[in-house]
Structure formats: C-alpha cells, structure tokens
Amino acid sequence: MKSKLSRFSIPYVIWMALFTVAPIIMVVVYAFSSAEGGFTLDNFAQMGTYAVVFTRSFKLAIIATIICLLIGYPVSYMMSKEGERFQRLAMVLIMLPMWMNFLLRTYAWMSILENNGLLNQFFQHIGLIDLYNRIFGTNIEFFRMMNTQGAVVLGMVYNYLPFMILPIYSVIVKLDRSLIEAARDLGANTFHVFRKVILPLSLPGVLSGITMVFVPSVSTFAISKMLGGGTELLLGDLIEQQFLGNAYNPQLGAAISLVMMVIVVVCMVVMNRFGEGEEQAVML
C-alpha cells in the first residue's frame, strides 16, 4: 500500500529536478563562467570590492529582524492571551495588508516620509520643527527621513512584520496550557513561567520568524530603491542591476547571488542548531 502511494511523489521529484535544482545549478554554472563562456574564478575574485554592500545589507537586515522580533513577539504573546474572537480578528488584520501590494504600501510611506511629505507637514503644523530650531539653534525646514538607512529599515520592518508575528503566534497559541499550570503549581512566578516554559517552547516559531524576515530583508531591492534613494546599494540592488538593471553582467550577478545564498544558508544552519529537532512552524 505504502509503496504504491509513494508513486505519487515521482512527478513532483521530476518537477523539482527541473524547476528547483536545475535553476540553482544554472546559477552555479554562471557564477563560474566568464562572459565568453569559459571557466573562470574572476567573478569571485572581485567579491572583496562588494564586501561593503554585503556588510551594509546584513547590518540593515539584522536591525530590521531584531526590531521585528521586539515588536512581533510581544504582539503574538498578547494576542494568544486574548479571547478567541479577538484572536481571529487580529489574525485577519495581520494578514490583510498582504493583499495590498507591498510596493504600493511602500510607495505610501514615500509620501509620508518625504521632505514635503505628510509627516513633515504635520510636524510643521504643530510647530515641532520651529521648536526644534529654537532649541538647537538650527534652521531646518523639515526632518530628513526619506533616503536614509532608517527609512529602508522602516520599510523592511513594515513589510515583513507579519512574517514574524504569524509563526510565533501559531506556536504560542498551540502551547500545552497544562505545562504552564504545572509550572505555576510548582511555584514559578509569571516571569519564570515565561522564561523557563513559554520562551523555550516558542523558539521554533521565533526561528522560523527570523528566517522569514531576515531572508527577504537581506535581498530586497524594491524597498531600498524606493525609500533609500538608490545612492547606497544593497545586495538585492546589486544583483538586480547585473541582470535587468544598469550594468549588465549576469555572471557577476550569479556569483553574488551564490555567495549570498551560501552565507544565508550557513546562518540558518547555525541558528537552527538552537532549535534542533523541532518541527518547523507552519506559517499561516
């Protein structure tokens, strides 16, 4: 019986070979070839030049991930303590923004953060900018928020926060309540219950949340282009530029993608050591 059912996996194995494995092999092949087609290591020899971009991307992505975690964990935890109806509503509210395309939501942030944008208009209106000028003796007309790294991080946090909340929440809400009661009965206070029981048990959710925020953050190109002004490239911009952008060089682009992929995989493997053996949290 079992072996018969296992036939069902054959079409998908072929599919994966074609559309998952083969494309990745293409990336590897490209990364090791020159524009003329021969084998070369040149693409990697240049990688040192791009170290700055790697550091910048990883820095911003890590900051965004930490902020997401700092906001997302408490929200998930608080949600799980609310009534069922509230939880249902909150889940819908968290998923709903995904239906408004993320580019559009990011674009909305542009009109909020611009020098003449809504936020600066608001500050002007309530006299905050005048106040600031009086206190610091400066002469600014607006707070510069657009085209900064801060704006890029904000864009990442904004877009990927739901990816942090959902897996954490889905783990916390399934926690065995009797464990918490048992801990209480054995004399643990609220803090201890959280630290010794809830936190360790919710770790798989945290790990999958971190992955789901960090990976898209480190490789984004639309957000950094829109909110960061394009003066400081991130990894995603760099890669996009080599394929569809202003400096056509797919071999270099493939090499950068490959290096990024390897670093990310190593990070994930190291991180998942902490949560080894845990089932991966289902995201939605």
Binding positions for other proteins, 123-182, rule CB under 8 A: 144, 146-147, 158, 161-162
- To other proteins, the closest distance from the beta carbon of 196 in angstroms equals 20
Task: Give a three-class secondary structure readout of 46-74.
Answer: HHHHHHHHHHHHHHHHHHHHHHHHHHHHH
- To other proteins, the closest distance from the beta carbon of 121 in angstroms equals 7
Judged by beta carbon, residue 200 or residue 248, the one nearer other proteins is 248
Q: Judged by CB under 8 A, which of 44, 63, 67, 102 binds other proteins?
A: 102
Q: Interacting stretch for other proteins, rule CB under 8 A, among 4-12, 36-44, 126-134, 176-184?
A: 4-12
Residue type, 279: E
Q: Interacting stretch for other proteins, rule CB under 8 A, among 24-32, 129-137, 180-188, 194-202?
A: 24-32
Judged by beta carbon, residue 74 or residue 200, the one nearer other proteins is 74
Give, as ranges, the residues between 226 and 245 that touch other proteins (CB under 8 A): 226, 228-233, 236-241, 243-245
Contact between 266 and other proteins per CB under 8 A: no
- To other proteins, the closest distance from the beta carbon of 197 in angstroms equals 19
Contact between 100 and other proteins per CB under 8 A: yes
Contact between 60 and other proteins per CB under 8 A: no
- To other proteins, the closest distance from the beta carbon of 34 in angstroms equals 12
The span from the CA of 255 to the CA of 152, in Å, is: 25
Cα 217 to Cα 29, 59, 251: the distances in Å are: 26, 10, 23
Q: Judged by CB under 8 A, which of 59, 88, 134, 196 binds other proteins?
A: 88
The span from the CA of 132 to the CA of 74, in Å, is: 33
**Does residue 246 contact residue 236 with C-beta atoms inside 8 Å?**
no
Residue type, 271: M
- Residue among 69, 80, 278, 87 at smallest CA distance from 174: 80
Token representation of residue 95: 């998923």
Tell me the DSSP string of 232-251: S--HHHHHHHHHTSSS--HH
Q: Judged by CB under 8 A, which of 127, 134, 248, 274 binds other proteins?
A: 248
Tell me the DSSP string of 6-42: GGGHHHHHHHHIIIIIHHHHHHHHHHTB-TTSSB-SH
Q: Judged by CB under 8 A, which of 173, 201, 268, 271 binds other proteins?
A: 268
- To other proteins, the closest distance from the beta carbon of 134 in angstroms equals 22
Contact between 90 and other proteins per CB under 8 A: yes
Binding residues with other proteins: total (CB under 8 A): 112
SS3 275: coil
Binding mask 187-226 for other proteins (x = CB under 8 A): ------------------------x---xx-xx-xx---x
Cα 95 to Cα 9, 106, 191: the distances in Å are: 31, 16, 30
- Residue among 142, 102, 120, 123 at smallest CA distance from 226: 102
